[in-house]
Structure 1
């Protein structure tokens, strides 16, 4: 989010701090058992991180920024989560066009898939028994699409791949899968030129 707002130096410092913490978590695990509310904070941050590439809905306002989904109004929540179906249809329709003409459609497919992934992750986050099962493949598919974009358009695609790897690293962290989170995060830093 700091990168999006032109604060690249600060973002790089924060990523280095996150690397230290993820390394510790991957080596030692959590120091204590939490109640699970951290995943709710992650869901809020995830909606923030996707907001810059989201288009405003024509049928009503967006959910309030910085508020947990459980606190959204019922109609805002329904619009936001119901939009997953339209996003899925739009992404599926765009997939074949992106294969035929990646110059024209691949970047948009990656953007739509990221929005679908974020909305799905936020939807399933408070349904803890299904959370990882329902969204893991979306994060994995997003990384695959971003890798294609990176190969097709190294300048823009590599930064996009780094962002989507960081998204998946945060998913792994929320799921208490710290070693895969660290692996994704290190890859992202290497694509950003910040690996140590």
Structure 2
């Protein structure tokens, strides 16, 4: 904004720089001539809208939905199931959700077993995985233990509160970011977490 209209609401003359604004009248001044206390308050930036990745996922085919289930939080999986039941109620989607719940139950049992193993045993188990293996409950649990990959990123973000998540998202998206596929995956997971928490508050 280069020019600012100044209206004198008082019954006395108002001086802006060396110019008088009579009572009840308005004058236009360049920004640099207007004192700070007479300038309009800055407009607060609107927070960036968080995309609800769960509802967006339901717009896809049965195969698309099934492929995306493994990336969802438990709360998001519950919301997706409820939304699908209330909407299209596709048998293929409901079956895929049931299979994903069974996979997570098996993964939880494996994590409990890994928690009982010492570092040497975990290292051997990780080294015995096929080259490039990053999927499956054993591989994912080991990646969390070793702090690598998407599973470790998710485990790191889950305990954070909303303020910390927004701060991390701002860090990842500044300067035309994200800069890599890993950072993009992190932003998408943060968006999902924020959307899931907002939905839980509105329930």
Relative to the length of structure 1, the TM-score reads: 0.32
Whose radius of gyration is greater, 1 or 2? Answer: 2
Higher strand share: 2
Q: Which has the higher contact order (CA 8 A, sep 6+)?
A: 1
Compare the two structures and name the one with the higher helix fraction: 1
Q: TM-score, normalised by structure 2?
A: 0.31
